[in-house]
Amino acid sequence: MAIPAHYDALSALELVAIALLDVKGDWTWAALDALRKRDREELFAAAEQLLRSPSSRERARGAVLFAQAAGHDAKEHRERRARCAEALLAALPTEQAPPVLKAIGYTLGYLEDARALPALRALKDHPDARVREGVARGLMPHHNDSVALQTLMELSRDGDTSVREEVLSGLALKDEDEVDTPALRDAFLDRVSDEDSGIRADALVGLAKRKDPRVLVHLRHELERPPVEIAAIEAARYLEDASLLPLLLAVREAARPMDDAFEGAIDFAIEYLGGRAS
């Protein structure tokens, strides 16, 4: 919906209050849209104030608001992003609420400040999975750091599906030239039999991007087990093994009718491997 005209007269804190009243309502989205247009310094001040609130819900919103206060360009807004990271890191040692710790982890990941690494790693064994998920998100931009990567690989074996999913989906996006170690490949291989189909598919993508031959038998098995994830289709394309063409064609036939995203992914994979999608 359009931003109501009277929102222009409201402060950032008042807009946040509206957003907190109705998490899924139209007025919430209008308030959030209005916040995006506010001066960064006003947002920073509001985020700082919220982070000191006795309400964990307000503190979590403040942690998220720092991402908006920081700006989008890491080079142009370097100083402001550093100030946001400093505020969050100062709050971290005394914060106990899992939703707030998760929000801090997410925002620190957005800010990509290396000073967050030791603080986040210290939370990797936190008893609440939401916090560990925030740690995974916070560490992901630092995958080239050996300690961060080691922590992410440890979290890839986490007992909570949401944590494993956060790690595997993030690492699967990284290409071989971004990060590639024997231990990382083994971590991907360890998850190709995960109980969650999305995690299995992401693990297959990670191995296929690195042309690891161990992935072929697992990828064949995944393509033979409906419903097939789009990520598994993409893994077949990344592996560039034409022997997978018959399986892809069979998947395409069995999936009819299919949504546009799935159809586009499988047609592209079939044609990429030298076949004809239609």
pLDDT per residue as tens, the chain (278 positions): 576 666 766 777 777 776 776 555 666 767 767 777 777 888 899 899 889 999 999 899 899 989 989 988 777 788 999 999 999 999 999 999 999 999 999 999 999 999 999 999 999 999 999 999 999 999 999 999 999 999 999 999 999 999 999 999 999 999 999 999 999 999 999 999 999 999 999 999 999 999 999 999 999 999 999 999 999 999 999 999 999 999 999 999 998 888 999 999 999 999 999 987 66
Return the pLDDT at 149.
97
How is residue 218 written in tokens? 């697992």
Q: Do 220 and 250 form a contact (C-beta atoms < 8 A)?
A: no
Q: How many contiguous H segments (helices) and E segments (strands) does the chain have?
A: 16, 0
Return the pLDDT at 26.
66
CB atoms within 10 A of CB 203: 29
Q: Do 66 and 80 form a contact (C-beta atoms < 8 A)?
A: no
Q: Rounded to whole angstroms, how far apart are CA atoms 171 and 161?
A: 15
Return the pLDDT at 21.
66
Return the pLDDT at 88.
98
Peptide bond into 141 cis (omega under 30): no
Q: Do 185 and 156 form a contact (C-beta atoms < 8 A)?
A: no
In order of their start, the domains of the chain are 179-278 (1.25.10.10)
Return the pLDDT at 276.
78
Peptide bond into 227 cis (omega under 30): yes
CB atoms within 10 A of CB 176: 14
Return the pLDDT at 17.
75
